[in-house]
Amino acid sequence: MRGDGRYDVVVVGGGHAGTEAALAAARAGAEVLLLTHNLDTVGQMSCNPAIGGIGKGHLVREIDALGGLMARAADRAGIQFRILNARKGPAVQATRAQCDRTLYRLAVRRALETAPRVALLQQAVEDLVVAGGAVRGVVTALGLRFEAAAVVLTAGTFLGGRIHVGLAQRPGGRAGDPPAEALARRLRELPLRVGRLKTGTPPRIARASIDFDRLEVQPGDEPVPVFSFLGRPEEHPPQVPCHITWTTAETHRIVRGALHRSPLYTGRIEGVGPRYCPSIEDKVVRFPQRERHQVFLEPEGLDSGEIYPNGISTSLPFDAQVALVRSIPGLERAHLTRPGYAIEYDYFDPRDLHPWLESRHLPGLFLAGQVNGTTGYEEAAAQGLVAGVNAARRARELEPWWPRRDEAYMGVLVDDLVTRGVTEPYRMFTSRAEYRLRLREDNADLRLTPAGRALGLVDDARWAAFEARREALERERARLRATILPPAALAAAGIEAPPGQGLSLEALLRRPGWDYRRVTALPGAGPAVADPALARQVEIEVKYEGYLRRQEAEAERLRRHETLRLPPDLDYAAVAGLSNEVREVLARARPATLGQAARTPGVTPAAVALLLVHLRARG
């Protein structure tokens, strides 16, 4: 630690947002102090021990492409890897890693401890130093004062956190951790719009009390996938299967019978929960026609005696939790090691943020993660990276940077948050992106690593690996285009072609039913690339070239609007033709670009056209 208590960037919180923020800020050249309640819980997964999944896996690959940590940590902690949607189109395929909770935490801690320019300190932050209308540092519970050009707040579910199990409730940041009450009170005094959200987690079950013989086994994929562009399967710990079971009519009867003791259904919880990650209470009430719901039994770790039952998040009283779990096949003798619970917490309206995640009202304060109304480790980590790099850029008086919607899911995420805000915990889905085919997991490096290099986030080793991969991809594409199978070879292989004409390997690969392996196995096709990920990418780029070109053209057209900056002091009353309602909406939202203005709820395409005319007239 530096003696004078001055840093370029102070990060509050050692969760998924805070750790990526600290690492990104340091890589971008800042001296960083990360303050967190407990150094032993740095990188802790508060809920399910898994990274990735549809939409989320895309974010993880993007974080990796920008030199971030999450994919590297998942490769070191992943005990089961699967590619979800493997039979669907390439845009929606996504990697998911079941992780060993302890190994994941250790990988994160080690990365922070070995990163240059990052200092760690176990301290609760209780106050922000505000001077001249800007945030200039923090004060901890011990009264230590740290000054910084930028503070990144990533306090997760801890601000004003209340834990509910049945009708009992108590303050808590998550099970086993105290909430951050003093900081929450202080933040409520500042010009930030605050709301309440809630999330929940299932009970945990003793592994030894489960009858695995009666359950369906779910193995991981073979060959075992990797998450990081730099990852190797040899880095993975031993791989283990998960198991699947189902709720029963009896489970649903128990849930219905306990609803009068549910904090959700008796109005004790005011915060809005994640619609897409519902509790078992919500599932039973909202889908009464469903006879059963799937439950994945996921190991908490290689050496852990606990199992995470994914799909039965609940805040019913403990006796009802025991009964409902025991009504599930294979779990009749289950012993619950930890109760499930719901947690309510403060979040800040993300429409008060710039797209680089700095507060519009308190310069120098960056917010990332669950405090912005999102849910999920991946969403938190992605925001942490954006906030961290921009906090470092602020400290160095550089222009902010943020990814565009057509460039990254991270761009979709920050744009959705700052233009639309949230009405429930926000999670990423591929359906949120307009350009899904461009924003694939496999090409996250092509989309983002050059930007990461320019921002100082990508080190020499990653850059060299990226350049080698990019060149290999281009070489193989050129080879497929240039390699022409002559008519005789085509006839010998029984391939239809116009009489007397040869066909390139590329043309063959575009044909329905043909894949890279089949094309390159033809006599005369030459040597195929050995790396299956590269082969897959070549195949996607060739097969979908037409669609990709069309998306690129459309994105280019929109980009011209997207990047047109709106002056922060723009007088919307002076824009001719706008309705008073739209003027008010825009004056309140103060979008940074014309693209953002177009996506602000209540702003019509006609209003955007009028704005464009106004901007052109201003020159």
Query: Smallest distance from the beta carbon of 290 to ligand FAD, in angstroms?
Result: 19
| CB 73, min distance to ligand FAD, A | 13
Interface with ligand FAD, residue 35, by CB under 6 A? yes
Binding range to ligand FAD, per CB under 6 A, among 58-66, 155-163, 230-238, 573-581? 155-163
Q: In what helix (H) or strand (E) does residue 310 lie, and over which residues does it extend?
A: strand 306-310
**420-443: string of b/e by CB count within 10 Å (b at 16+)?**
bbbeebbbbebebbebbbbbbbbb
39: left (phi over 0), alpha (psi -120 to 50) or beta: alpha
With respect to ligand FAD, which residue has the nearer C-beta, 169 or 443? 169
Closest to ligand FAD by CB, 204 or 394: 204
What is residue 419's three-state secondary structure?
helix
Determine the interface stretch with ligand FAD among 13-21, 229-237, 357-365, 494-502 (rule: CB under 6 A).
13-21
Q: Least distance to ligand FAD from the beta carbon of 124, Å?
A: 4
Does 315 interact with ligand FAD (rule: CB under 6 A)?
no
Asked if residue 373 belongs to a known ligand binding site, the reply is no
For ligand FAD, which residue of 8, 25, 33, 37 counts as binding (CB under 6 A)? 37
Q: Which of 124, 295, 490, 509 binds ligand FAD (CB under 6 A)?
A: 124
Contact between 119 and ligand FAD by CB under 6 A: the answer reads no
**Residue 363 preceded by cis peptide, ω within 30:** no
Alpha-carbon span 42 to 35, nearest angstrom: 10
Between 274 and 293, how does the x/- string for binding to ligand FAD read (CB under 6 A)?
---x----------------
* Dist CA 526 CA 425 (whole Å): 51
* Residue among 299 and 591 whose Cβ is closer to ligand FAD: 299
Is 533 annotated among the ligand-binding residues?
no
| Residue among 35 and 575 whose Cβ is closer to ligand FAD | 35
Nearest distance in Å: CB 157, ligand FAD: 4
Restricted to residues 331-360, the positions that interact with ligand FAD (CB under 6 A) are 343
- Positions in 438-477 near ligand FAD (CB under 6 A): none
- Bridge-based pairing of strands 365-367 and 145-153 is parallel
CB of 343 to ligand FAD, least distance (A): 5
16 annotated to a ligand binding site: yes
Least distance CB 617 / ligand FAD (angstroms):
43
- Report the greatest alpha carbon distance in the chain: 85
Binding segment for ligand FAD among 219-227, 367-375, 439-447, 494-502 (CB under 6 A)? 367-375
Torsion, Cα of 480, 483, 488, 489 (10° steps): -50
Taking the C-alpha atoms of residue 147 and residue 391, their distance in angstroms, rounded to an integer, is 13
Rounded to a whole number of angstroms, the minimum distance from the CB of residue 442 to ligand FAD is: 23
204 or 453: CB nearest ligand FAD: 204
Strand pairing class (168-171; 162-165): antiparallel
Burial 16-48 (b: 16+ CB within 10 A, else e): bbbbbbbbbbbbbbbbbbbbbbeeebbbbbbbb
Nearest to 616 by CA among 577, 579, 561: 561
282 is in an annotated binding site: yes
SS3 331: coil
* Number of C-beta neighbours around residue 190 at 10 A: 15
> Is 608 assigned to a binding site?
no
Do 616 and 609 contact (CB within 8 A), yes or no? no
**Three-class SS of residue 514?**
coil
**Should residue 13 be labelled a site residue for ligand FAD when binding is judged by CB under 6 A?**
yes
Residue 242 CA to residue 429 CA, distance in Å, equals 24
Residue 316 or 538: which CB sits closer to ligand FAD?
Answer: 316
**Binding status of residue 54 toward ligand FAD by CB under 6 A:** no
Question: Which residues contact residue 406 at a Cβ distance below 8 angstroms, ignoring those fewer than 6 apart?
Answer: 434, 435, 438, 439, 551, 555, 558, 559, 562
3-state SS track over 448-485: HHHHHHHCCCCCHHHHHHHHHHHHHHHHHHHHHHHCEE
Q: Say whether residue 73 binds ligand FAD (CB under 6 A).
A: no
Minimal distance, residue 369 CB to ligand FAD, in Å:
2
Candidate residues 125, 408, 503, 607; the one interacting with ligand FAD per rule CB under 6 A? 125
Please select the residue that binds ligand FAD; options are 26, 33, 46, 544, rule is CB under 6 A: 46
CB of residue 310 vs ligand FAD: minimum separation in angstroms? 8
Distance CA(55)–CA(379), nearest Å, equals 10
**129 near ligand FAD (CB under 6 A):** no
Say if residue 283 carries a ligand binding annotation. Answer: yes
Which CB atom, from 347 or from 466, has the smaller least distance to ligand FAD?
A: 347
Give the whole-angstrom CA distance, residue 307 versus residue 3: 45
For 200, residues 6+ apart whose C-beta sits below 8 A from its C-beta are: 273, 279, 313, 314, 315, 340, 341, 342, 343
Q: Check whether 280 is labelled as a binding-site residue.
A: yes
Query: How far, in whole angstroms, is CA 6 from its chain's centroid?
Result: 31
Choices 42-50, 235-243, 248-256, 553-561 (CB under 6 A): range interacting with ligand FAD:
42-50
Interface pick for ligand FAD out of 8, 10, 11, 14 (rule CB under 6 A): 14
Taking Cα atoms as reference points, which of 362, 400, 402, 382 lies closest to residue 151?
362
224 annotated ligand-binding residue: no
377 is a contact residue toward ligand FAD (CB under 6 A) = yes
User: Least Å distance between CB 267 and ligand FAD?
Assistant: 20
Q: From the CB of 123, what's the least distance to ligand FAD, in Å?
A: 7
Instruction: Give the span between the Cα atoms of 13 and 105, in whole angstroms.
Output: 14
Site for ligand FAD in 168-227 (CB under 6 A): 174, 180, 183, 199-201
Count residues binding ligand FAD (CB under 6 A). Answer: 35
| Contact range with ligand FAD by CB under 6 A, out of 11-19, 319-327, 432-440, 454-462 | 11-19
- Whether 161 contacts 171, CB under 8 Å: yes
Q: Where are the beta strands (DSSP E) in 166-234?
A: 168-171, 194-201, 204-206, 216-218
Given 93, 157, 314, 390, the residue binding ligand FAD (CB under 6 A): 157
Binding residues for FAD: 13-18
Binding residues for NAD(+): 273-287
Binding residues: 13-18, 273-287
Interface residues with ligand FAD (CB under 6 A) are 12-18, 35-37, 41, 46-48, 124-125, 154-158, 174, 180, 183, 199-201, 277, 343, 369-370, 375-377, 380
